[in-house]
């Protein structure tokens, strides 16, 4: 049964995930991932401070305070980087951890001071159930505003992230743009901190964009993948979080997103890690099989010493080799044809190296050992034409004709 | 009009060019010529405002560089951007059509037509849908050139746009540049090849860390100036004279009337 309470929670999660994924796209494209992380940690003391002063964690003081402290952190990162020659990632790391520690200390003091805490104890790890209707309203407004801004400024986002100098020459006010973008990101992180928590919101900021980029270099697909994956993760996390109240929504959402992305990173055609590994394995087998064929072609009948050779087993399954009664391996008719092609490529390449590139004939073999596996049929044909269909290689071994 | 006044510039403590002084009226097709290490690229970077000069000043259209940046277009070093960036060739060229008031995710039809025209001009049409990371170095250079051309800025600045480009595309690019210039725009280009320089440009700036000569090509392209510029590197000169089928005497030592 779907209760109103559950709908509230899911709506909150979806809005938060959507906002973070959307704002994360420029951050990811500008390679400012660490800055996004720093920002999410840096606004934490700001939010705690706002609760302490105003006595509640709802309403505008939280947002203003979060944004101010976030901007202060960014300003410090920039200043440290410029004044001390500490690299930017180093400066970012320092500011991140200092602000976060300050937030922890403040939170500890606050818990003992007797001020009504509201949902503040969840600011660290996030809890969607503590969401108030007013917060949901703000998330909704931000989501609409963010979508509008993103639509209007999409060209700016891509141009500035790709080539900031060119953007500046084209009249894009890069300084103001960065400032507005960072302030906006701080605002979004403040608005979503209660659902996702200071520690985890950076993951929701960056992972969707990274997944989108992994799947396609096409901006349209990147944006759609980022937003859809974030929304899907949020729906799942909202359900689980509502039915098992002890679980942190932020952590759930991040884990859901991970499970959603993981199969893609592993299995996506041509790019997935596992798919790449399989392709490499296949290629290695082909090389080894081709070498076996060539070996059998050059020597007549080999004995059982290599009985369990996996390459021979594969070739025999393909009926390219067979074993006679004495246990000797021989090439079949098709096997001979295939082997001749490899030998042909090998010897053609040797001839080419020797005749055209003037490589001495005792130095051509090693390179031909590689090229025999790489030349495709078209290259082989062109090579033969180029060399006027030679009948023997530099070592005077015959080059088998193409049948 | 470009005015370079008393310019000395370099990197850190190393001075790459000394006391350069010249002015040339626009529209012009200006070639910056000189041997390796003569400060050609440094001059270009200073004109672009990327390098702050030690002393002296440059003005374009009678204003300091910082005020006219939007009227310049240039081709950056190809290693200055991330080539894994999620963007396709056509999107990069379209960036040349960017204006601060171009809202929304799409470019107008005329912008797309212009981008396609310049992409074709550099011989890269068939790659328009490719991710930029899939291109070779020379191809990346040509895409950046198309983007700079697509800006249709008043002044186009180029640092050896033909480096790493095959002969066919090279000729094509030169003819595109001629057309570009004939539309009343100006080009400032660092160039290596003296042979094409003699027919391509209408103004020359000859450099040898100091200024050798600057002005209309008829006045500046003289044997003595070239000898001062290239000094010991005689092979380039004799090679060129050979190619032009001229004896040194024909390459006038005196300004043409």
**What's the CA gap between A382 and A41, in Å, rounded?**
62
Q: How many residues does chain A have?
A: 403
Q: Which of B81, B102, B131 sits opposite A155 (nearest CB)?
A: B102
Q: Is the pLDDT of residue A197 over 70?
A: yes
* pLDDT for residue A305: 53
Contacts of A213 in chain B (CB under 8 A): 86
Q: CA of B152: which chain A residue's CA is closest?
A: A170
Q: How buried is B172 (Cβ within 10 angstroms: 0-12 exposed, 13-18 middle, 19+ buried)?
A: middle
* pLDDT for residue B126: 92
Q: Which of A215, A235, A268 is the last residue of a domain?
A: A268
Q: How confident is residue B110, by pLDDT bands cut at 50, 70 and 90?
A: very high
* pLDDT for residue A35: 85
* pLDDT for residue A160: 92
Q: How confident is residue A121, by pLDDT bands cut at 50, 70 and 90?
A: low
Q: Is the pLDDT of residue B251 over 60?
A: no
Q: Which residue is listed with tokens 């290599």? A: A306
Whether residues A152 and A112 share a domain: the answer is yes
* pLDDT for residue B255: 45
Among candidate residues A24, A11, A21, A12, the one with its CA nearest the CA of residue A227: A21
The mean predicted confidence, pLDDT, of chain A is 85
Number of C-alpha atoms within 13 angstroms, CB side, residue A331?
20
The model's pLDDT over A55-113, given as tens digits with 9 standing for 90+, comes to: 766 667 888 888 889 889 988 988 888 888 888 888 888 998 999 999 889 888 888 87
Please report the ipTM that was assigned to this predicted complex.
Answer: 0.79
Alpha carbon separation from A111 to A44, A108, A115, A116, A236 (Å, rounded):
15, 5, 7, 9, 32
Q: How confident is residue A243, by pLDDT bands cut at 50, 70 and 90?
A: confident
Average of pLDDT values for A201-210? Answer: 89
Strand blocks (E) in A138-267: none
CB contact under 8 A, B87 and A162: yes
Contacts of A158 in chain B (CB under 8 A): 87, 91, 95
The CATH number assigned to the domain holding A128 equals: 1.10.3470.10
Q: Which two tokens stand for residue A84?
A: 């001390």
Q: How confident is residue B239, by pLDDT bands cut at 50, 70 and 90?
A: low
Q: What percent of chain B has pLDDT over 70?
A: 89
Q: Is the pLDDT of residue B176 over 60?
A: yes
Domains of chain B: 1-61+155-165+185-257 (3.40.50.300), 72-153 (3.40.50.300)
* pLDDT for residue A59: 67
Beta pairing class for B210-216 and B55-60? unpaired
CB contact under 8 A, B151 and A171: no
Distance from CA of B74 to the nearest CA of A (A): 8
Question: Which residues, other chains included, contact A13 with Cβ-Cβ below 8 Å and sequence gap of 6+?
Answer: A128, A195, A234, A235, A237, A238, A241, A249, A253
**What's the CA gap between B105 and A170, in Å, rounded?**
17
* pLDDT for residue A348: 92
* pLDDT for residue B257: 41
CB contact under 8 A, A217 and B88: yes
* pLDDT for residue B249: 44
**A59 three-class SS:** coil
Whether residues A297 and A371 share a domain: the answer is yes
Domain ranges, residue A359: 269-403
Contacts of B133 in chain A (CB under 8 A): 217
The mean predicted confidence, pLDDT, of chain B is 84
Q: CA of A29: which chain B residue's CA is closest?
A: B85
Whether residues A254 and A276 share a domain: the answer is no
The CATH number assigned to the domain holding A303 equals: 1.10.10.10
Average of pLDDT values for B32-59? Answer: 88
Contacts of B73 in chain A (CB under 8 A): 169
Q: What percent of chain B has pLDDT over 90?
A: 24
The model's pLDDT over A45-62, given as tens digits with 9 standing for 90+, comes to: 888 888 888 776 666 788
More confident residue, A112 or B30: B30
Among candidate residues A204, A189, A142, A250, the one with its CA nearest the CA of residue A39: A189
CB contact under 8 A, A170 and B70: yes
Question: Which residues, other chains included, contact A351 with Cβ-Cβ below 8 Å and sequence gap of 6+?
Answer: A387, A390, A393, A394, A399
The model's pLDDT over B79-105, given as tens digits with 9 standing for 90+, comes to: 778 888 999 999 999 999 998 887 888
Q: Which of A250, A268, A286 is the last residue of a domain?
A: A268
The model's pLDDT over A298-348, given as tens digits with 9 standing for 90+, comes to: 876 565 555 668 888 888 888 888 888 777 888 888 888 899 999 999 999
Q: Listing from the earlier edge strand, what are the strands of the sheet with B14-24?
A: B14-24, B2-11, B55-60, B63-64
Instruction: Compute chain A's Rg from CA coordinates.
Output: 32
Taking a C-beta distance cutoff of 8 angstroms, is the pair A22, A150 a contact? yes
Q: How buried is B256 (Cβ within 10 angstroms: 0-12 exposed, 13-18 middle, 19+ buried)?
A: exposed
Q: How confident is residue A270, by pLDDT bands cut at 50, 70 and 90?
A: confident
Q: Is the pLDDT of residue B254 over 60?
A: no
Whether residues A377 and A248 share a domain: the answer is no
Average of pLDDT values for B224-229? Answer: 82
More confident residue, B232 or B30: B30
What is the model's pTM?
A: 0.76
Whether residues A290 and A208 share a domain: the answer is no
Whether residues A90 and A239 share a domain: the answer is yes
More confident residue, B153 or B196: B153
Q: Does A72 touch chain B (CB under 8 A)?
A: no
Whether residues A111 and A15 share a domain: the answer is yes
Q: How many domains, in total, are found in chain A? A: 2
Q: Does A151 touch chain B (CB under 8 A)?
A: yes
Distance from CA of A217 to the nearest CA of B (A): 4
Whether residues A253 and A104 share a domain: the answer is yes
Q: b or e along A180-217 (b: 16 or more beta carbons within 10 Å of the residue's beta carbon)?
A: ebbebbbbbbbbbbbbbbbbbbbbbbbbbbbbbbbbbb
Q: How confident is residue A15, by pLDDT bands cut at 50, 70 and 90?
A: very high
**What's the CA gap between A382 and A357, in Å, rounded?**
16
Q: Does B152 touch chain A (CB under 8 A)?
A: no
Q: Which of B69, B105, B131 sits opposite A155 (nearest CB)?
A: B105
Whether residues A360 and A283 share a domain: the answer is yes
Question: Which residues, other chains included, contact A223 with Cβ-Cβ below 8 Å and sequence gap of 6+?
Answer: A25, A212
**What's the CA gap between A221 and A215, in Å, rounded?**
8
Beta pairing class for B29-33 and B14-24? unpaired
Q: How confident is residue A254, by pLDDT bands cut at 50, 70 and 90?
A: confident
Q: Which of A216, A244, A268 is the last residue of a domain?
A: A268
How much helix, strand and coil, in percent to the nearest 5, is found in chain B? 40, 25, 35
Whether residues A275 and A240 share a domain: the answer is no
Whether residues A40 and A112 share a domain: the answer is yes
Whether residues A253 and A369 share a domain: the answer is no
Could you check whether the bond before residue B154 is cis, i.e. omega within 30 degrees of 0?
Answer: no
* pLDDT for residue A202: 84
């Amino acid at each position: 049964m779907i209760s109103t309470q559950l709908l509230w929670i899911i709506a909150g999660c979806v809005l938060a995930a959507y906002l973070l994924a959307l704002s994360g796209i420029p951050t990811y494209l500008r390679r400012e991932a660490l800055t996004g992380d720093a920002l999410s940690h840096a606004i934490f003391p700001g939010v705690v401070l706002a609760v302490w002063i105003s006595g509640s964690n709802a309403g505008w003081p939280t947002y203003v305070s979060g944004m101010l402290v976030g901007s202060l952190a960014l300003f410090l990162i920039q200043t440290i980087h410029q004044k001390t020659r500490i690299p930017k990632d180093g400066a970012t790391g320092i500011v991140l951890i200092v602000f976060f520690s300050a937030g922890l200390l403040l939170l500890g003091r606050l818990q003992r001071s007797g001020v009504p805490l509201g949902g503040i104890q969840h600011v660290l790890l996030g809890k969607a159930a503590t969401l108030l209707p007013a917060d949901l309203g703000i998330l909704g407004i931000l989501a609409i505003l963010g979508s509008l801004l993103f639509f209007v400024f999409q060209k700016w986002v891509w141009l500035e992230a790709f080539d900031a100098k060119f953007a500046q020459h084209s009249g894009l006010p890069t300084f103001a743009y960065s400032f507005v973008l960072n302030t906006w990101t701080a605002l979004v992180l403040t608005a979503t901190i209660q659902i996702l928590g200071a520690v985890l919101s950076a993951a929701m900021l960056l992972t969707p964009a990274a997944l989108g980029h992994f799947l396609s270099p096409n901006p349209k697909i990147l944006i759609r993948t980022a937003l859809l994956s974030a929304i899907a993760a949020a729906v799942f996390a909202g359900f689980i979080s509502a039915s098992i109240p002890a679980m942190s929504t932020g952590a759930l959402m991040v884990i859901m997103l991970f499970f959603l992305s993981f199969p893609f990173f592993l299995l996506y055609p041509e790019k997935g890690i596992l798919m790449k590994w399989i392709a490499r394995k296949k290629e290695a087998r082909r090389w080894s099989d081709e070498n076996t064929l060539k070996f059998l072609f050059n020597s007549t009948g080999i004995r059982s010493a290599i009985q369990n050779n996996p390459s021979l087993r594969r070739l025999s399954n393909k009926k390219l080799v067979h074993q006679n009664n004495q246990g000797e391996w021989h090439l079949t008719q098709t096997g001979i044809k295939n082997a001749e092609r490899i030998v042909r490529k090998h010897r053609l390449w040797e001839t080419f190296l020797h005749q055209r590139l003037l490589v001495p004939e005792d130095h051509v073999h090693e390179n031909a050992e590689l090229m025999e596996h790489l030349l495709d049929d078209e290259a082989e044909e062109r090579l033969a034409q180029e060399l006027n269909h030679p009948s023997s290689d530099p070592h005077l071994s015959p080059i088998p004709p193409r049948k | 009009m470009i005015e370079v006044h008393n310019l000395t510039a370099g990197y850190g403590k190393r001075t790459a060019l000394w006391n350069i002084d010249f002015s040339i009226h626009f529209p012009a097709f200006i070639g910056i010529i000189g041997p390796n290490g003569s400060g050609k690229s440094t001059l270009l970077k200073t004109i672009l405002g990327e390098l702050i000069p030690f002393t002296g000043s440059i003005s374009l259209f009678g204003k300091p560089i910082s005020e006219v940046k939007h009227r310049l277009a240039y081709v950056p070093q190809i290693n200055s951007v991330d080539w894994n960036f999620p963007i396709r060739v056509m999107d990069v060229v379209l960036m040349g059509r960017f204006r601060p008031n171009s809202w929304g995710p799409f470019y107008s039809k005329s912008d797309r037509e212009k981008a396609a025209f310049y992409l074709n001009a550099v011989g890269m049409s068939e790659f328009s849908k490719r991710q930029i990371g899939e291109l070779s170095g020379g191809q990346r250079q040509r895409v950046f050139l198309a983007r700079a051309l697509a800006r249709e800025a008043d002044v186009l600045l180029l640092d050896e746009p033909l480096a790493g480009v095959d002969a066919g595309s090279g000729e094509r690019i030169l003819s595109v540049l001629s057309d570009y210039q004939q539309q009343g725009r100006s080009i400032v280009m660092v160039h290596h090849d003296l042979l094409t320089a003699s027919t391509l440009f209408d103004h020359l700036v000859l450099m040898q860390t100091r200024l050798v000569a600057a002005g209309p090509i008829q006045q500046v392209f003289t044997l003595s100036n070239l000898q001062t510029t290239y000094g010991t590197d005689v092979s380039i000169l004799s090679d060129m004279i050979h190619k032009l089928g001229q004896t040194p005497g024909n390459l006038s030592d005196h300004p043409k009337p």
